[in-house]
Structure 1
Amino acid sequence: MDDYQRIAALIDRGNPRNALVYLQSRGSGKADDGQMRCLTGRAYFAIRNFRKAKIQYEAALSVGDLSLRDQTELAVCYLRTQQRWITSRLLTKLAPSSGEMCLVALQTTVKTALQIKHISAIRDAGQQGRRRFPDNALFWYAAGELTRLLDKNPEAAEFFFKRALELEPSNHSYRIAVCQTQLLMNDIGAARSTLDFDLTSVRCLANLQRFQLLYESIDDTDGYFSCFVQLMREYDRITSERYE
């Protein structure tokens, strides 16, 4: 295993900080080493330092080509550093190459495209994802969002969202999407069934607020109150952790 492979393995195994230490010991700032720049960018991306990751990826691009995975991560960096229009332009370029992307690149492309509602990237990467990785919930969720964005029939959107929820029942964003679609079709009974789950599993305050609105829309006072209780519980937990 050479140095490049060793560093890539550290990043992919969830040790990006160790990878950065190793890179710095080797002199990762060499301007003409595009591969080392890419690996440094990946390490910074993994620890969510998008500004530094962008600098490294752009430096690597100036001396050679980026892999599809690195290009998808660069698109995220542009989005996270308030350069949305460059993100959109890069996704437009990447979408036709979805068939050549690895799983990580496909997931990154779809997630980024969903954030900025980039239709062609959601469509192309999502289709490839469902074809090659049919048990990955994200790609079914993307199909539902695409159907919803294009104002096509809500029954199809519900099918895609429900498939995503079946594959990943703990994902509350998928449950919210299913319920919203059912309410759009005025299927109150189905919405009640979708919202019949353990609210204590929800830790995200934003999701709890969304669930609270959904319970309110179906006149479920017990669910609404349970959301309120869980919101207070999570708020107290977050506050206590912050001041420990």
Structure 2
Amino acid sequence: MARNQINMIPISALIILLTFLLPQPSLAESPTVRSSLIRFMDALRGGGELSAHPPPLLDWGWNATSDPCTAKWAGILCDQEFRVVAVTLDGLELRGVLDARTLCAATPLLAALSLRGNGHIHGPLPPEIAECKSLTNLVISGNRFEGAFPRSLGRMMMTGLREFRAQDNQFSGPIPEVEGFGSLVGFDVSNNNLTGPIPGGLRTFSASAFAGNQGLCGPPLPGDCPFFPAPAPAPVLA
């Protein structure tokens, strides 16, 4: 008789029972992590309260009382353990700066960051981006990033960076020869203000990855680099 009674338990009742017995991912991330992510977004937006002035075409869903994974914050992707692994904020007309220090501290498992096509994110690519030690894909194309080519990429390639796309920005100066360029499978710095010879470790990429930089030269671009004579030796003092 007892066996028959167990078999007669409705499926809906079993589901409700399991709901109470199994652990529920209510707030997977700590308040510190949630507030850090909001500070990161606030910097990208150019300051101001995130909840007070949301962009007209997007309901962010970002707030310190909800969880970025279980509440599905806009642009956030999480793994099965409810940890942030990707941030994709493309084409949102963001106008601030990249607070890499805050982002990397809050998301130690971050594998992908994309800020493509915002048009107005400015400033240098901060060296603290190398603190995102799980980052494999970094896309910042179509913005106003400026300054020297980020040497921090060398540190990032040692920890697994595979894609760097920074076309249509305002980076200037030479591309340094950085150990680890050969590990990249995706690379594009076209339409910047870069100068000098293309490092050997990047010559496996097509010419289109370097086009639009009037000062860049050498393979895979057509033609050779101008000859720069060695500096004259220092005079010998008598």
Query: Does the pair score TM above 0.5?
Result: no
Q: With structure 1 as the length reference, what TM-score do the two structures score?
A: 0.33
Richer in strand (by share):
2
Larger radius of gyration: 2
Richer in helix (by share):
1
Q: Looking at both structures, which has the greater relative contact order when contacts are Cα pairs under 8 Å and sequence separation is at least 6?
A: 2
Q: With structure 2 as the length reference, what TM-score do the two structures score?
A: 0.34
